Amino acid sequence: MSMLSQRQRWALLGGALALSLLLAVWPDGGDKGSRAVVEVEPRRHASAKPQEQAPVLLAMSIDTLQRGASGEGEDKEVKNIFAHQSWFVPPPPPKPAPPAPPPLPFSYLGKVIDGNQVTVFVTQGDRNLALKTGDVVDGVYRVDTIAPPMMTFTFLPLSMQQSLEIGGAN
């Protein structure tokens, strides 16, 4: 196979450019199966052999160009193969905060210490209560410890402890 001269290469490139321009501006309303044919004829040289002088025909179906090279139906979804992809896995969402008991509904009034037994007087709304270790208030709060300066309750629905300041031992 002989090498093409520079003029022949430019002619082929010009023909390919003309074909691309023709296909870019081709009207969309053409008949199904219509074909675009561009003839690229290289310059003939006196020294060229007859088989090298044959014109080059480039043809492509307009339907094939519109559907893509696969020739499949027009409704096929096109997937972007260059879409952003990452191996980074985001951390899981934070766990919700555990439920917290409501604020203690008690207000400290006073205490009586009789030997090892301590009784604490508190108010709950409009009620006055005298509480000792182990007492349960309304099935919701249990008195766990009374050790001045703190009194510890357990909020039974959540099994969580809360403290109430009751002052020193005197």
The per-residue pLDDT for range 55-90, each reduced to its tens digit, is 554 555 555 555 555 545 556 677 788 887 788 888
Separation of alpha carbons 133 and 52, rounded Å: 112
Contacts 24+ apart (CB under 8 A), 65-74: 65/23
> Tokens at residue 131, please?
């509480």
Residues 111 and 159 in one domain: yes
**Tens digits of per-residue pLDDT, 103-149?**
999 999 999 988 888 999 999 999 999 999 999 999 999 999 999 89
Distance CA(63)–CA(97), nearest Å, equals 60
Quote the domain boundaries for residue 120: 106-165
Is residue 58 a part of any domain in this protein? yes
* Residue 87 included in any domain: no
Domain count of the fold of the chain: 2
pTM, to two decimals: 0.46
